[in-house]
Every structure is written in structure tokens, then in C-alpha cells.
Amino acid sequence: MDRVMERQYDFDLTYITERIISVFFPPLLEEQRYRLNLKEVASMLKSKHQDKFLLFNLSEKRLDITRLNPKVHDFGWPDLHAPPLDKICAMCKAMETWLNSDPQHVVVLHCKGNKGKTGVIIAAYMHYSKISQIPPSFCPALTVYSSLYTLSTGYFPFLKIYQSMQLVYTSGIYDLQGSAGRKLCVTIEPALLLKGDIMVKCYHRRVQAAERDTVFRVQFHTCTIHGVQLWFGKGELDEACSDDRFPPDATVEFVFSSGPEKIKGREYQRNDPAVTVDYNTTDPVVRWDSYENFNQRHQDSLEGMRTYMIALTHVNTRECLDLVLP
């Protein structure tokens, strides 16, 4: 840490890193001196970083801070209290976005009061950055272990994998009729590169109707992967956790590797010979992405409402004309 200003002024300006700066004011500093020192800080920052700095205010919101620098994010919370977790996450994300958008960008953490606030955010951001830098993982296989429930019309599961709510993989449709095994193994070749928020949904393709049912849904972040396997029990599987057709010992296993090559010693992960796979990707029931237009639904509903209101206005206008005209 490079301490630039100390004791010469009523504030402590410290370069935690080359791009993260801490500015601390004592809690009992009188208002007039605080405002004068605040102007001095703004002048120093502008002379060295021009308009490339973004200020995060960890204390109460103040208009004088905004007047000196329009690029201010207010994330304050009471002294000697733990900050809300969602506020920490939002601040870390905002810091990352700002710093990544330009190599000249710097972040300024402003605090008047308890210096511990700055320490909390710096520690949180260091941990957040470590998670963000975790390399992606390759997923070559997924296995469902259970006495899979059977239907009178057969059981035809298929999988969809989403990364940050974007569809990245759709499996074929598996036909488990005649299979006596207790597992379903989905082999992904080449191995799928995954990073960040991941969601896996298993569906059952109905035979007698162009419909599908959700069998289970599971979500995780790749930063939670510590090893080559990630297991989820029945209680951790949405939909399946309350489905009596899933036995209590049902599990879903993900296999990960550091590269796209096959993992040696995992050849046992094979389906029963009676299991067949239909890779017909033109089936609209399989291809349909239920999250593709998620952000457009509200807009679409408003468009429909607007059309309805126009039509209703037109009808009311005609009714009024009918009442007025002889």
C-alpha cells in the first residue's frame, strides 16, 4: 500500500493498489473542515486521474460529494454494523465492471467514520476477484442415479444446460424402455466448457402430445467445484424433491475435468445396452427454449395492452358519436 497523504491534511488517502484508492475522514471532523478537505481530495484525484475515477461512498449520502464528482455510487451503511450481503455483491460487481471497462480506470472508496468499512469492502472485493478468476471447467458427463420412475407410455428424458441463462447444450432424447439399470448417463462430446452460473434442466418428452414435463432442475456456480465430481441429492433437485416417483436416494452427478479430453478410468459410466438415444434436434418440443424471450414478456404484455386500449378508445369514440349524431 502506498500512503500518499497523512497528517498534512484531515484525511488519509491511501493507494491500496494502483487502481483502488481509499480516502478516509475522521468521524468527528467538523463539517466546514470536511467540505474543504473534500474539495482538496477531488482536486488531487482529478489532477492525477482526470475523469477516470469512480467514487464509492461508504458513508451516508451527501450532495456535496456528488457536486464535486458526478461519478458517485452510494453504498453506505451505519457504522459498526455489518453491511447487507446484497450491497457487498452489488458493489463488487460495480467495481469489477468499472475497472474492466478501461485499464486507466480507478476506484475510490470514500469513508467518513469507521475505517473498518473500507477494510470490509477491500477484503470482499479481493475474494470476489479470486472467484471471478477461477478458470472454466469442462463437463464431459452427467449421471442420474436412481430407480428412474416409469410411465405407462414410457420415459423419454432429455437435458438442457444453461450458462448465465443462455442455452449452451441440448442432449438427445433417451429411451429407457426395457432398461433394467438404475442410472442414466449423458456423455457430452466434446466436453462442454462451463463458467459462472449454470442451470441444468431434465425434461420428459411426452409421446402422445407435443409437450414436455420438467423432471428436475438444478443450479450451481462453477466456483463451487472443488475436484472432478459435483453431487446433488434429491432434496437439492427442484421439482424432483417433492416428486414421490423419485426415491430418497436419487442423486445427480456431474463430472468435470481441466481439459476437453476424456477422463481416464471413467469408462464405467455407460448406459444399459437397452438404452437408445434419438438425436433428432429438429423436434420443436426439444428445441424450444423457455427462457429465450424472458425479458420480452412484460413488453409484449404492454404492447397487447396498448393495442387493447387503442381498440377500446376507438369503440368508445364510436359509441359517443352514435349518441350525438341523429
CA 88 to chain CA centroid, Å, is 15
Going across the sheet that includes 12-15, the strands are 2-5, 12-15, 20-25, 106-112, 53-57, 72-74
Residue 260 pairs in a beta bridge with none
Active site residue 111: yes
Contacts by residues 67-71 (CB-CB < 8 Å, ≥ 24 positions apart): 68/38, 68/39, 68/42, 69/42, 69/45
Per DSSP, the three-state class of 133 is coil
Backbone angles phi, psi at 253, to 5 degrees: -115, 130
Amino acid at 183: K
Four-residue CA torsion sign, 155, 161, 167, 169: negative
CA count, 13 A, side-chain hemisphere, 283:
18
Grid cell in block for residue 33? 473542515
Q: Which of 89, 92, 111, 202 is catalytic?
A: 111
Which residues are known catalytic residues? 111
